Amino acid sequence: MSEKDKIKTLLVKKPLKLDCGQTISDFPLAYETYGKLNDKKDNGILVFHALTGDQFASGTNPITKKDGWWNYALGPGKAIDTDKYFVIAANVIGGCMGSFGPSDINPKTKKPYGTNFPVITINDMVNAQYNLLEYFKIEKLFCVVGGSMGGMQVLQFVSNFPNKAHTAIPIACTASHSAQNIALNELGRQSIMADRNWQDGFYEEQNKQPDKGLAVARMAAHITYLSKAGLQEKFGRKLQERDDLKFSFDADFQIESYLRYQGSVFVDRFDANSYLYITRAMDYFDLTKKFGGNLSKAFEKSNTKFFIISFTSDWLYPTSENREIVIALNAIGKNVGFVEITSDKGHDSFLLNVPDFLNTVKNFLNKSYEKIS
């Protein structure tokens, strides 16, 4: 079985008008499913992934051979219990795990799109994934859930399709990307673009890879996913396999070595142009824009029950930004619950083994499902 055979793909024939003005059609949307859709088709959950995630949320990712990115939360008997629910996860468009993305071949030029790929938005990603509901003939999902950029997609989904999900769990996210987060994304993009091998985005035609730039982008981003306390506790000033400082620029400290490792493994699984496109989509995300700055209006038509979760040590998408969503929903009398989970693991908390978080998700889902079924 070749690598590509391990990826399930839906060929979306219906034209999709992107926010940038271009229209795409006949494009591939890679997806994976876990669990079984029941006869009533009322147990469907659509999971949205974050910046560097993909459709392989649970089990072993057949391409990278690593654990699925949401293995702690998703699987048989877990918080999102695939013995009970039918979970669909897709690779976002612009991504690099089988969905339509910048490394695809442009039929006109017979070369990879590179930076000729259209700029996509969170709205485009969600509209593309909506096709999966029709494909699986699901009238209404039980839940849409995701963290970080996945949470933004949850918000966008409910706003676009107000009656297509009974419940929604946006986790550690925002309704409008902050200046700080745009700045951090720009740092990553500039790092990629500064790599000589990037070649204005047409590196694949020249058999080059901007690995150094992409690795530095990942290293910088990785720091933002952790907390100061978490880093201090895990690494402190511990030295890497040495008894004393070497008075050089080697990785003397464990934290340096750890970040270098994170950077080096990332380039093996991720495409630099996808990183540019997806961070751009996050930066462009402002759900209030279409509604004159009034976030409540984005949810006016929805009857979805929201449950919003943030983490105490997340400084990338802090509780205050998550709370803005709660406030907007309360202002129009929508059904919304909110919990801030105590964790020193920073923004990454939603991906890790944080029992309070996992229990909360499990309880919310199971109790809500009792009510609808």
Partner 1 sequence: MKKEFYNIAKLITKNSKILDVGCGNGELMKYITENISKDIRGIELSKTNVQKCVEKGLTVIEGDAEKDLKQFPDSSFDFVILSQTLQAFLDPENVLNELLRIGKKAIVSIPNFGHWKVRLHLLLKGTMPVTENLPNEWYNTPNLHMCTIKDFENYCKQRNIKINLKNLKFQNLFSELGIFILEK
Active site residue 148: yes
Tokens of 112: 């990879």
Q: How far is the CB of 177 from partner 1 (least distance, A)?
A: 22
Select 128 or 158, whichever has its Cβ closest to partner 1: 158
Select 37 or 372, whichever has its Cβ closest to partner 1: 372
- Residues within window 325-344 making contact with partner 1, judged by CB under 8 A: 326-327, 330-333, 335-342
Q: How far is the CB of 338 from partner 1 (least distance, A)?
A: 5
Residue 173, classed as helix, strand or coil, is: coil
Instruction: Give dist(CA 319, CA 313) in Å, integer.
Output: 9
Active site residue 314: yes
Q: How far is the CB of 305 from partner 1 (least distance, A)?
A: 8
353 near partner 1, rule: CB under 8 A: no
Active site residue 347: yes
Which residue among 347, 348, 349, 368 is the active-site one?
347
216 neighbors 267 (Cβ within 8 angstroms): no
Single residue of 43, 148, 156, 360 touching partner 1 by CB under 8 A: 360
Select 19 or 340, whichever has its Cβ closest to partner 1: 340
28 neighbors 105 (Cβ within 8 angstroms): no
Strand partners, 170: 146
Tokens of 286: 């402002």
Which residue among 271, 314, 344, 348 is the active-site one?
314
Single residue of 39, 241, 243, 370 touching partner 1 by CB under 8 A: 370
Q: Which residue has the tokens 């035609």?
A: 205
DSSP alpha helices (H): ranges in 70-137?
122-135
255 near partner 1, rule: CB under 8 A: no
- Taking alpha carbons only, the member of 209, 4, 203 closest to residue 112 is 203
Instruction: Give dist(CA 64, CA 26) in Å, integer.
Output: 27
Select 232 or 335, whichever has its Cβ closest to partner 1: 335
Q: How far is the CB of 363 from partner 1 (least distance, A)?
A: 5
Select 182 or 372, whichever has its Cβ closest to partner 1: 372
181 near partner 1, rule: CB under 8 A: no
Provide CB contacts within 8 A for 114, sequence distance 6+: 102, 200, 201, 202, 203, 204, 205, 273
**In the chain, what is the straight-line distance between the N-terminal and C-terminal CA atoms, in Å?**
40
> How many residues of this chain interact with partner 1, rule: CB under 8 A?
25
Amino acid at 146: G
297 near partner 1, rule: CB under 8 A: no
Catalytic residues: 148, 314, 347
